[in-house]
C-alpha cells in the first residue's frame, strides 16, 4: 500500500519580532500573555498538518488540557484572535476553519525550501474570493476576449495576475460584478502603462541609433583625416 504523502511541517519559522506585531500586542492587552501560548499552540497544530485547522468542540478542550488554561478562556482567546485578524474572520465564520494569509504564505515558503510539492487550494486566501466566479462566467469571458482581443490563455494568466494584485493590495470587492469592473479598469491601466513604456523604449532606441550613426560618421571623418597624405594638401585652398 503506497505511503500517504506528508502535507505538514516538522518545524516552522517563529518571527523574532512577534511581540512587536500590533495584533499580538493587542491580544496580550485584552487576554493576557497566556493567550500568546494558545496562539503558538494553534500554529503548531496547523503547521503539523498543513495550513489550517478545523474548529470543533474538542479543540478548546485539547488546548485547555495541554496548557492548563480554563476551557472558557481558550474559547474567548481564540475569538479575540479572530477579531484581531490573526486568523481570517470570514473563513472562520463561514467555514469554521482557522487559517490566515500569512500562515498560507509561510507554509508554501517552507515547502519550497524543503523542495516538496504542495499547494493551497482549500480555504485559499492567496487569490481573490471572486476569481473562481469570474473564470466560470462564459458570457463575461467572451466579452473580455472580444473587446480586448485576448485568447483563452492570455485572459486566464491576466486573471491570475490580477488576483495576486488584489490580495497584495488587500483590496475587497462587494460582489463578483464589482470585481469584474475592477479587473477591466486594472487591465486598461496596465495596458496603458505598457504602451507608454513601449513608446519610451522605441524613442530611446531611436535616439541611441542616431547617436551611434553620428559616432560612426565622426570616426569615419577622423579616419579619413589620419590617412590623408602630403599629396592631398598640395592643392591650394
Per-residue pLDDT, 103: 93
Tally of residues, the chain: 237
What gap in Å lies between CA 95 and CA 89, rounded to an integer? 10
CA atoms within 13 A on the CB side of 199: 6
Per-residue pLDDT, 174: 83
Per-residue pLDDT, 194: 78
**Nearest alpha carbon to residue 107 among 169, 42, 48:** 48
What gap in Å lies between CA 39 and CA 10, rounded to an integer? 18
Per-residue pLDDT, 26: 97
pLDDT tens across the length of the chain (237 residues): 455 567 888 888 888 899 999 999 999 999 999 999 999 999 999 999 999 999 998 999 999 999 999 999 999 999 999 999 999 998 999 999 999 989 998 998 888 888 888 888 888 888 777 888 898 999 999 999 999 999 999 999 998 888 888 877 767 788 889 989 999 999 989 888 877 777 776 767 777 777 777 777 777 776 666 665 555 555 554
Let me know: does 58 contact 110? Beta carbons within 8 Å: no
Cell for 48?
503539523
Q: Give me the residue label for grid cell 493590495.
A: 169
Provide the whole-model pTM.
0.63
**Nearest alpha carbon to residue 88 among 102, 99, 75, 77:** 99
> Taking the mean position of all CA atoms in its chain, how far away is CA 13?
19
What are the angstrom distances between the C-alpha of 60 and each of 10, 30, 51?
23, 19, 19
Counting Cβ atoms within 10 Å, is residue 232 exposed (0-12), middle (13-18) or buried (19+)? exposed
Amino acid at each position: 500500500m503506497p505511503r500517504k504523502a506528508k502535507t505538514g511541517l516538522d518545524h516552522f519559522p517563529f518571527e523574532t519580532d512577534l511581540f512587536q506585531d500590533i495584533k499580538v500586542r493587542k491580544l496580550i492587552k485584552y487576554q493576557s500573555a497566556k493567550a500568546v501560548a494558545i496562539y503558538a499552540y494553534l500554529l503548531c497544530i496547523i503547521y503539523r498538518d498543513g495550513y489550517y485547522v478545523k474548529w470543533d468542540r474538542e479543540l478548546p478542550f485539547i488546548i485547555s488540557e495541554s496548557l492548563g488554561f480554563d476551557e472558557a478562556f481558550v474559547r474567548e482567546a481564540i475569538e479575540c484572535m479572530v477579531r484581531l485578524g490573526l486568523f481570517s474572520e470570514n473563513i472562520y465564520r463561514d467555514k469554521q476553519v482557522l487559517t490566515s494569509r500569512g500562515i498560507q504564505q509561510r507554509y508554501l515558503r517552507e515547502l519550497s525550501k524543503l523542495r516538496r510539492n504542495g499547494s493551497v487550494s482549500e480555504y485559499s486566501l492567496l487569490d481573490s474570493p471572486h476569481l473562481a466566479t469570474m473564470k466560470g462566467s462564459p458570457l463575461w469571458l467572451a466579452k473580455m476576449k472580444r473587446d480586448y482581443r485576448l485568447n483563452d490563455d492570455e485572459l486566464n494568466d491576466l486573471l491570475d495576475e490580477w488576483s495576486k494584485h488584489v490580495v497584495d493590495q488587500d483590496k475587497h470587492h462587494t460582489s463578483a460584478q464589482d470585481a469584474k469592473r475592477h479587473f477591466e479598469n486594472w487591465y486598461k491601466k496596465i495596458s496603458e502603462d505598457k504602451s507608454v513604456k513601449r513608446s519610451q523604449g522605441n524613442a530611446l532606441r531611436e535616439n541611441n541609433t542616431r547617436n551611434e550613426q553620428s559616432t560612426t560618421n565622426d570616426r569615419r571623418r577622423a579616419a579619413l583625416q589620419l590617412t590623408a597624405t602630403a599629396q592631398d594638401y598640395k592643392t591650394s585652398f
